[in-house]
Amino acid sequence: MDLSIIIPCCNEEDSVPHLTIKLFPVVEQMRRDRTVEVVFVDDGSTDATYLRLQEITAGQPDMPIVRHPVNRGLGAAIRTGFADARGDIVATADSDGSYRFDEIPALLSYLKPGIDIVTASPYNKLGRVENVSGYRIFLSKGSSLIYRILLDPSITAYTCLFRAYRREVVRRVPFYDDGFLGGTELLVNAMFMGYKVAEYPSTLYSRLAGASKAKIYRMIRAHLRFQWNVVLRRLRLAPLPKPLEGESVS
């Protein structure tokens, strides 16, 4: 398998039908010159998300659905997707279409020799933000600013899900947070372990349907705690992440 695309979903019954229009044509186009699978992770949805996923993937090759019996969080859903992914390259994307699926080929084009991770950013000088609530931008941009100061100022977004990884990163880099911090933790730990990151300038849009699951206070607290841990690591007062062995991080 050349490429795995992981789509975490939680109570996204209104967003799932859009995937047939926004995601599936992109996958079919990419399948002309590579093998592609899409791994859907239903993270304990209590609405009809799982049923909608079954409906749109019926008869579709290489589109498995993995289901958490209870909600475990975005980080846990990413780990589950990584465990099931077979691709040499593994991409992650939001089910709500806040980053457009038709940008996946462009995102992958930044994964050049010597680059291990490509992360999208609307805060890059060539990126944009359209019709997204101010509080979401404040939280994301503010958190990323602190990570830029602590780590690499050339990376302008540390919190987005829209990324591409080489399989070695997925297999070896540990991350433990089960919530929204998981993706940031993965990126930061990979940087501490010496993996090279490139940034893809993208556009962040408002979601196609449904409502955000983010809990603002919980997210702020999680980022502040993790940023303090990053400070301690930079001062050599806390241990660096240890690479995992085996075929997955689960």
Domains and their CATH numbers in the chain: 3-234 (3.90.550.10)
- The CA distance from 172 to 174, in Å, is 6
Q: Which residues does residue 120 pair with via DSSP β-bridges, in sequence order?
A: 200
Looking from the CA of 165 toward its CB, the CA atoms found within 13 Å total 27
pTM of the complete model: 0.92
- The CA distance from 28 to 108, in Å, is 16
How many other CB atoms are found less than 10 A from the CB of residue 168?
A: 12
User: Would you say residue 109 has pLDDT above 90?
Assistant: yes
- The CA distance from 31 to 180, in Å, is 31
- Report pLDDT for 249: 45
Q: Which of 59, 58, 53, 63 is nearest to 16 (CA)?
A: 53
SS3 for 213?
Answer: coil
pLDDT tens digits for range 12-46:
999 999 999 999 999 999 999 999 999 999 999 99
Mean of the per-residue pLDDT values of the chain: 93
- Report pLDDT for 133: 79
pLDDT tens digits for range 166-180:
999 999 999 999 999
- The CA distance from 26 to 101, in Å, is 7
Among 57-66, 111-120, 136-145, 212-221, which stretch is predicted with the lowest mean pLDDT? 212-221
pLDDT-based confidence at residue 214 (cuts at 50, 70, 90): low
Share of the chain above pLDDT 90, in %: 84
- The CA distance from 78 to 170, in Å, is 10
